Amino acid sequence: MLTPTICLMDVAAPRLAAAAQPGQFLIVRARQQGERIPLTICDYDRTKGTVTIVTQIVGASTRLICSLEQGDCFVDVVGPLGRPSDFVELPEAELRGRRFLFVAGGLGTAPVYPQVKYLHECGASVDVIVGAKTADLLILREQMRAVCDNLYICTDDGSEGHHGLVTEKVKQLLDAGRKYDQAVAIGPMIMMKFVTLTLKDSGIPLVVSLNTIMVDGTGMCGCCRITVGGKVRFACVEGPEFDGYAVDFDEALRRQAMYRPQEQEADHKCKIGRS
């Protein structure tokens, strides 16, 4: 348990580990009648045949996932799914020396980590801004610090690092003359929206991940439909990463809230059933 509500686990899945790339996700089902939960791949070890996932308890299914102990099994583990990050297709020689800025909010630190690790191994220069409400909710700090050039911590309450929002730190870096070839923002939808607005006039290409609106992960349910550049796209099969400047974030925010009442009801029933 990284925090009281955030769990990290290694899953033995050799074929998945052999094929996984930064930016992709997998789907787990904790019990036979359980729902399919898409989770971004936080790390992978091809030698050990494991993939790492990070899960936050937000409802009945995620509570069940985080209750699993070492040696337990998922009913299903499917992946890797989704398109890898675009930079995976670039030659290592082209990545070497390029400057990247990553902005991670909350649990978004988990999918940011494998991307930063990959770029670090390719010789790219990477700065990372990580934000959370309080220091107690920060995750993977030491792991991230080991694979980036500069790590900037932001907390809403000032309990660690910069006292304020990640967008303020982004503006500080740009005002200080920092130059970047690419920016990536992953985290709460509202955070990605305002990072996009902050970077809009900078001329820096921006990629965002819409993994938080995925449900079944195959495009069949249609819950992750989103307008990107005036066209309807499906986050799970055409993403989850898209050009941040082209995403209709207001639509994405509305879609993300569609099933909140059902999630709260299911979590309430789950807790009652255990009492």
Is the pLDDT reported for residue 272 higher than 50?
no
Question: What is the percentage of the chain residues whose pLDDT exceeds 90?
Answer: 74
Task: Determine contact, residues 11/72, Cβ cutoff 8 Å.
Answer: no
How far from each other are the two terminal CA atoms of the chain, in whole angstroms?
22
Q: What is the pLDDT of residues 149-179, one digit of tens each?
A: 999 999 999 999 999 999 999 999 999 999 9
Q: Is the peptide bond before 80 cis (omega within 30 degrees of 0)?
A: yes
Spell out the alpha helix ranges (H) of the chain. 14-19, 60-66, 92-95, 109-121, 141-145, 166-175, 189-199, 235-238, 249-256, 260-274
Task: Determine contact, residues 85/23, Cβ cutoff 8 Å.
Answer: yes
d(Cα 112, Cα 138) in Å, to the nearest integer?
13
Smallest Cα–Cα separation from 101: which of 76, 124, 74, 72?
A: 124
Q: Where are the domains of the chain?
A: 6-81, 86-209
Task: Determine contact, residues 220/226, Cβ cutoff 8 Å.
Answer: no
Determine the length of the chain.
Answer: 275
Please give the CATH topology (third level) of the domain spanning 6-81. Answer: Elongation Factor Tu (Ef-tu); domain 3 (2.40.30)
Task: Determine contact, residues 34/74, Cβ cutoff 8 Å.
Answer: no
Task: Determine contact, residues 112/186, Cβ cutoff 8 Å.
Answer: yes
What pLDDT shows up at residue 265?
Answer: 61
Q: What is the pLDDT of residues 183-215, one digit of tens each?
A: 999 999 999 999 999 999 999 999 999 988 877
Q: What is the pLDDT of residues 54-92, one digit of tens each?
A: 999 888 888 999 999 999 999 999 999 999 999 999 999
The listed CATH number (3.40.50.300, 3.90.1150.10, 3.40.50.80, 2.40.50.100) that belongs to domain 86-209: 3.40.50.80
What does the CA dihedral 187, 189, 195, 200 come to, rounded to 10 degrees? 140
